[in-house]
């Protein structure tokens, strides 16, 4: 699993330590020293997860978390708060800002990596390498293989990512622009009908085992993967 992680931490020694360990774990880390710089970075690159130090010069990590939760662009991006405080009421305050988890300094790098993995697994299952299966259709991110009732199916790279996203978020409707953001990447300027083209290719690839019926068009709304 490799995620782009934004780290907001004003202590250079901790910033370096965390950065090193997350990079060792295969993540791409963007480090910033304060909230204002973090907001500028987020404007350009939407991270997969954000690690926010509680106490920052200027805008605090808590205030930053609150602002990110209120913004449609970062509303769903997982947040883990880093803090030196271990007080129970602070933990509650941290979670009330909408943070997904909370880790108290000093922490072991191993624990941090494990907590990041747990949050991503819960909040962004398409980032993990766990195989997914829906109604006999199975996708394995590690071997990059898709099978329908154990028969191999041949998918192009975009169709693979699209299917992975839909399979890890079943029964939910996604608009074309949401799918563009999630599958093609943020700030990618592609026409919305590109999504339709790839949905068509995906259905065709799933036809041999009749799993194309899992990909449903929801009129006026977008697409959904559903077993029913
Ligand atoms: Ca700090």
Q: What are the structural domains, with CATH classification, of the chain?
A: 4-127 (3.40.50.2300), 132-225 (1.10.10.10)
* CA 10 / ligand 1 centre spacing (Å): 5
pLDDT value of residue 219: 94
pTM to 2 decimals?
0.75
pLDDT, mean over the chain: 91
Cβ atoms within 10 A of the Cβ of 62, count?
Answer: 21
Assigned token pair, 74? 């970062």
Q: How far is the CA of 65 from the centre of ligand 1 (A)?
A: 14
At a CB cut-off of 8 Å and minimum separation 6, what does 5 contact?
22, 27, 28, 29, 30, 47, 48, 49, 50, 51, 116
C-alpha 157 – ligand 1 centre gap (Å): 41
Q: What is the pLDDT of residue 90?
A: 66
3-class SS of residue 29: strand
Interval between CA 15 and ligand 1 midpoint (Å): 10
- pLDDT exceeds cutoff 70 at 89: no
Q: Would you say 82 and 103 are in contact if contact means Cβ atoms under 8 Å apart?
A: yes
Find the 187 Cα to ligand 1 centroid distance in Å. Answer: 31
Looking at residue 126, its pLDDT comes to: 82
Contacts of 50 (CB under 8 A, 6+ apart): 5, 6, 7, 8, 38, 68, 74, 77, 78, 79, 80
Q: What is the distance in A from the centroid of ligand 1 to the CA of 56?
A: 5
Min mean pLDDT across 90-94, 141-145, 168-172 is at: 90-94
What is the rounded average pLDDT of the residues 210-225?
A: 96
Alpha carbon of 11 to ligand 1 centroid (Å): 6
pLDDT over 70 for what percent of the chain?
93
pLDDT at 86: 63
Residue 46 · residue 39 · CB < 8 Å: no
């Amino acid at each position: 699993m490799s995620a782009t992680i934004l780290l907001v931490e004003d202590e250079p020694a901790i910033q370096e330590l965390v950065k090193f360990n997350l990079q060792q774990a295969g993540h791409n880390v963007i480090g910033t020293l304060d909230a204002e710089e973090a907001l500028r970075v987020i404007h350009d690159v939407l991270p997969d997860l954000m690690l926010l130090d509680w106490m920052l010069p200027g805008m605090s990590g808590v205030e930053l978390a609150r602002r990110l939760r209120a913004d449609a662009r970062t509303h769903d991006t997982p947040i883990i708060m880093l803090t030196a405080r271990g007080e129970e009421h602070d933990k509650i305050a941290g979670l009330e800002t909408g943070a997904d988890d909370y880790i108290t300094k000093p922490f072991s790098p191993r624990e941090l990596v494990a907590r990041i993995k747990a949050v991503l697994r819960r909040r962004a299952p398409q980032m993990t390498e766990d195989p997914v299966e829906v109604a006999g259709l199975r996708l394995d991110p590690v071997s990059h293989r898709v099978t329908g009732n154990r028969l191999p199916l041949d998918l192009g790279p975009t169709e693979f990512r699209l299917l992975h996203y839909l399979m890890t978020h079943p029964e939910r409707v996604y608009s074309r622009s949401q799918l563009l953001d999630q599958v093609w990447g943020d700030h990618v300027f592609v026409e919305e009908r590109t999504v339709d083209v790839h949905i068509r290719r995906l259905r065709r690839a799933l036809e041999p085992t009749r799993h194309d019926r899992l990909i449903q068009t929801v009129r006026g709304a977008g697409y959904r993967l559903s077993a029913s």
